[in-house]
């Protein structure tokens, strides 16, 4: 029977002194045939298990190796050693699973993040990844909590979709046709009529269009699921498979949308600060160590914890795209030709521009609104100036774009006209257009890239280190 065990997190948090308990976990280190640092994943802190000399067989002691799994029954006593208040005086030790410490890839020393990516199946057992993935869990929970408390309906939008109209990125095809000899049509292309769905299908890049169908019935919905982009961008912020949170609200304009996004981000960070203090403390120190290696001008101005409390306690800056371009044009960086890409009204800002705005100019998250219509999607609400749309992107220090959203075009004639201009087939999206025919309402929503959010909260520089098994170009291991 296993469920009588107590988790190390609970044990360390509660006063069980002089009580007998059972713990189970993996050996991190074993010193002097006497002190085991035992970790069970519930917390980054190890439990010190003390073996009285002479009480255990030599043959058993030999099997207590790094990463062996143990069951220990013992007495909780105050610790004499440094670094812990209690320890477990072992009465009974059972090896649940042996481990060949020589062959075990994780040695008790510092490994590079690149190396740990190659052994992603074991990296959860390190302090860093233990903390990152406990924080990732907390953020997921806080997301559901935030929306549930506000009466949003959690909607599961499809993963496989036949519409590729959204144009958010390159798509992965889903097919059961033979790769060697697919059936061909008269024009010499693949005949998808013979494919599984009777038409070409892809993995979704966003649940938004379906989300709008939900919002125009339930009022407020959110999605939280995987999305896929076959974009060949090998950056520290792009994955081929990532998770996205997409709330969609009826009776909501751009300003309501921004207000919601801001309090949403603050809520989930606050939750993690409260419930994962030890993990964030650890990550704060890890980042400080890492930044010591950098030249002074590359270091962040704030530590991780300082940055998080700053974001929770201060309003985001709000500027229009036109103002953002003006700031860039006035910037010393522009004047000294420090930007690689050109700046002028109409450009899709590059990450160097976004980072200048948040890291150098405002030094806080920035919401940029009212982008040129030509660089944004067809469904964004057209502004009266004829040039811009009611879009909003949230830019975060160290990450760049973390949220993309907009008020949606609810006027059928304007929407159809824009779709025709952009060559988006209106007949394929007949169901989407129906919402504008049957009781259309002002509505808005946004997408938050979950991994970018986890990066922001954990301070991890590479997006591959905040998802369990990253999918990127030429990499699909595990
Ligand atoms: P970017 O310009 O950074 O590629 P995008 O404009 O393509 O982003 P959207 O289509 O607006 O992004 O998607 C909404 C959110 O999803 C983004 O704000 C970002 O947080 C996240 N996101 C987009 N693409 C990726 C990706 N390839 N990997 C991880 N997160 C992503
Ligand atoms: Mn993109």
C-beta of 389 in contact with ligand 1 (< 6 A): no
Among the bound ligands, name the one nearest to the CA of residue 206. Answer: 1
CATH for 15: 2.40.50.140
Could you tell me if residue 170 is inside a domain?
no
Say whether pLDDT at 89 is over 80: yes
Among the bound ligands, name the one nearest to the CA of residue 404. Answer: 1
pTM (whole model) above 0.75: yes
Which residue, of 108, 139, 166, is where some domain finishes?
108
The residue nearest atom 29 of ligand 1, judged by CA position, is 238
Q: What is the pLDDT of residues 340-377, one digit of tens each?
A: 999 999 999 998 999 999 999 999 999 999 999 999 99
Say whether pLDDT at 258 is over 90: yes
Say whether pLDDT at 168 is over 70: no
Asked if 101 and 133 sit in the same domain, the reply is no
Asked if 348 and 441 sit in the same domain, the reply is yes
pLDDT of residue 167: 62
Q: Which whole-number Å values give the CA distances from 215 to 8, 231, 312, in the listed order?
A: 43, 29, 28
Q: Are 249 and 260 in contact (CB under 8 A)?
A: yes
Rounded distance, CA 394 to CA 327, Å? 17
DSSP summary character for residue 124: G
Asked if 266 and 143 sit in the same domain, the reply is yes
How far is the first Cα of the chain from the last one, in angstroms, to the nearest whole number?
31
C-beta of 454 in contact with ligand 1 (< 6 A): no
Could you tell me if residue 478 is inside a domain?
no
Q: Which whole-number Å values give the CA distances from 66 to 62, 100, 269, 283, in the listed order?
A: 11, 8, 34, 23
Q: Cα of 268 to ligand 1 centre, how many Å?
A: 19
Residue partners of 42: CB distance under 8 A and separation at least 6: 7, 8, 9, 10
Could you tell me if residue 304 is inside a domain?
yes
DSSP summary character for residue 408: B
Nearest to 140 by CA among 468, 473, 422: 468
The residue nearest atom 4 of ligand 1, judged by CA position, is 238
What value does the mean pLDDT take over residues 6-14?
Answer: 94
Asked if 140 and 30 sit in the same domain, the reply is no
Residues above pLDDT 90, as percent of the chain: 89
Indicate the helix (H) or strand (E) that contains 349. none
Q: What is the pLDDT of residues 140-159, one digit of tens each?
A: 999 999 999 999 999 999 99
Q: Are 36 and 4 in contact (CB under 8 A)?
A: no
Asked if 326 and 392 sit in the same domain, the reply is yes
C-beta of 403 in contact with ligand 1 (< 6 A): yes
Asked if 456 and 327 sit in the same domain, the reply is yes
Q: Which residue's structure tokens are 């291991």? A: 477
Which residue, of 54, 82, 108, is where some domain finishes?
108
Asked if 41 and 129 sit in the same domain, the reply is no
Q: Cα of 395 to ligand 2 centre, how many Å?
A: 14
- Which strands, in side-by-side order, build the sheet including 173-174? 160-161, 201-203, 173-174
Asked if 133 and 65 sit in the same domain, the reply is no
Could you tell me if residue 116 is inside a domain?
no
Greater confidence, 80 or 43? Answer: 43
Find the radius of gyration of the CA atoms of the chain.
27
**Could you tell which of 227, 233, 401, 403 is best to mutate to test the pocket of ligand 1, judged by most ligand atoms within 8 Å of the CB?**
401
Q: What is the pLDDT of residues 41-71, one digit of tens each?
A: 999 999 999 999 999 999 999 999 999 999 9
Q: How many domains does the chain fold into?
A: 2
Rounded distance, CA 38 to CA 46, Å? 5
Asked if 74 and 216 sit in the same domain, the reply is no
CATH for 461: 3.30.930.10
Could you tell me if residue 301 is inside a domain?
yes
Could you tell me if residue 308 is inside a domain?
yes
C-beta of 229 in contact with ligand 1 (< 6 A): yes
Greater confidence, 441 or 234? Answer: 441
Q: Cα of 348 to ligand 2 centre, how many Å?
A: 11
Rounded distance, CA 128 to CA 124, Å? 8
Residues above pLDDT 70, as percent of the chain: 98
Indicate the helix (H) or strand (E) that contains 297. none
**Ramachandran angles phi, psi of 5, nearest 5°:** -70, 155
Burial class of residue 171 (count of CB atoms within 10 Å of its CB; 0-12, 13-18, 19+): buried
Asked if 89 and 145 sit in the same domain, the reply is no
Q: What's the chain's length in residues?
A: 478
Q: Which residue's structure tokens are 């907390």? A: 138
Which residue, of 108, 137, 162, is where some domain finishes?
108
198 Ramachandran zone, left/alpha/beta (phi>0; psi -120 to 50): left
The residue nearest atom 26 of ligand 1, judged by CA position, is 238
Q: Cα of 6 to ligand 1 centre, how many Å?
A: 41
Q: What is the pLDDT of residues 414-445, one digit of tens each?
A: 999 999 999 999 999 999 999 999 999 999 99
Q: What range does the domain containing 82 cover?
A: 2-108
Could you tell me if residue 169 is inside a domain?
no
pLDDT of residue 17: 84
The residue nearest atom 10 of ligand 1, judged by CA position, is 168
Q: What is the pLDDT of residues 93-116, one digit of tens each?
A: 999 999 999 999 998 788 999 999
pLDDT of residue 83: 76
Q: Cα of 449 to ligand 1 centre, how many Å?
A: 6
SS3 content of the chain, % helix, strand, coil (to 5): 35, 25, 40
pLDDT of residue 216: 97
386 Ramachandran zone, left/alpha/beta (phi>0; psi -120 to 50): left
The residue nearest atom 21 of ligand 1, judged by CA position, is 449
Q: Which residue's structure tokens are 């974009």? A: 231
Q: Cα of 232 to ligand 2 centre, how many Å?
A: 10
What value does the mean pLDDT take over residues 277-304?
Answer: 92
Asked if 213 and 69 sit in the same domain, the reply is no
Asked if 61 and 129 sit in the same domain, the reply is no
């Amino acid at each position: 029977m296993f469920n009588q065990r107590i988790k190390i997190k609970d044990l360390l948090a509660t006063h069980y002194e002089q009580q007998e308990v059972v713990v189970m976990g993996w050996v991190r280190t074993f010193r002097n045939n006497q002190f085991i640092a035992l970790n069970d994943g519930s917390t980054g802190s190890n439990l010190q298990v003390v073996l009285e000399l002479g009480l255990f067989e030599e043959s058993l002691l030999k099997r207590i190796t790094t990463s062996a799994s143990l069951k220990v029954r013992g007495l909780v006593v105050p610790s004499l050693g440094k670094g812990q208040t209690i320890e477990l005086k072992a009465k009974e030790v059972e090896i649940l699973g042996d481990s060949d410490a020589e062959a075990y890839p994780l040695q008790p020393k510092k490994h590079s993040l690149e190396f740990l990516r190659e052994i992603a199946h074991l990296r959860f057992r390190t302090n860093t990844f233990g903390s990152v993935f406990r924080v990732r869990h907390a953020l997921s929970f806080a997301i559901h909590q935030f929306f549930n408390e506000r009466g949003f309906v959690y909607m599961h939008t499809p993963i496989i979709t036949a519409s590729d109209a959204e144009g958010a990125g390159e798509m992965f095809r889903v097919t059961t046709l033979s790769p060697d000899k697919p059936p061909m049509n008269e024009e010499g292309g693949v005949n998808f009529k013979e494919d599984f769905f009777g038409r070409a299908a892809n993995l979704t890049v966003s649940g938004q269009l379906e989300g709008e169908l939900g919002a125009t019935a339930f009022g407020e919905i959110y999605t939280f699921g995987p999305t896929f982009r076959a974009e060949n961008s090998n950056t520290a912020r792009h994955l081929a498979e990532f998770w996205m949170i997409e709330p969609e609200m009826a009776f909501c304009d751009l300003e309501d949308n921004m207000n919601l996004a801001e309090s949403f981000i603050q809520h989930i960070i606050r939750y993690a600060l409260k419930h994962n203090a030890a993990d964030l403390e650890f990550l704060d120190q890890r980042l400080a160590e890492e930044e010591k290696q950098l030249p002074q001008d590359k270091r962040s101005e704030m530590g991780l914890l300082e940055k998080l409390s700053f974001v929770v306690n201060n309003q985001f800056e709000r500027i229009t795209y036109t103002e953002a371009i003006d700031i860039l044009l006035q910037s010393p960086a522009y004047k000294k030709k420090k930007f690689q890409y050109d700046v002028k009204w109409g450009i899709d800002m590059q990450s160097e521009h976004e980072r200048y705005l948040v890291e150098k100019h405002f030094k806080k998250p920035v919401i940029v609104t009212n982008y040129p219509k030509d660089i944004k999607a067809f469904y964004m609400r057209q502004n009266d100036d004829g040039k811009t749309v009611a879009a909003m992107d949230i830019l975060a220090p160290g990450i760049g774009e973390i949220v993309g959203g907009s008020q949606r075009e609810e006027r059928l004639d304007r929407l159809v006209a824009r779709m025709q201009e952009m060559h988006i087939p209106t007949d394929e999206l007949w169901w989407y257009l129906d919402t504008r025919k049957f009781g259309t309402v002002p509505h808005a929503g946004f997408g938050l890239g979950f991994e970018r959010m986890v990066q922001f909260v954990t301070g991890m520089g590479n997006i591959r280190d905040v998802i369990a098994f990253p999918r990127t170009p030429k990499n699909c291991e595990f």
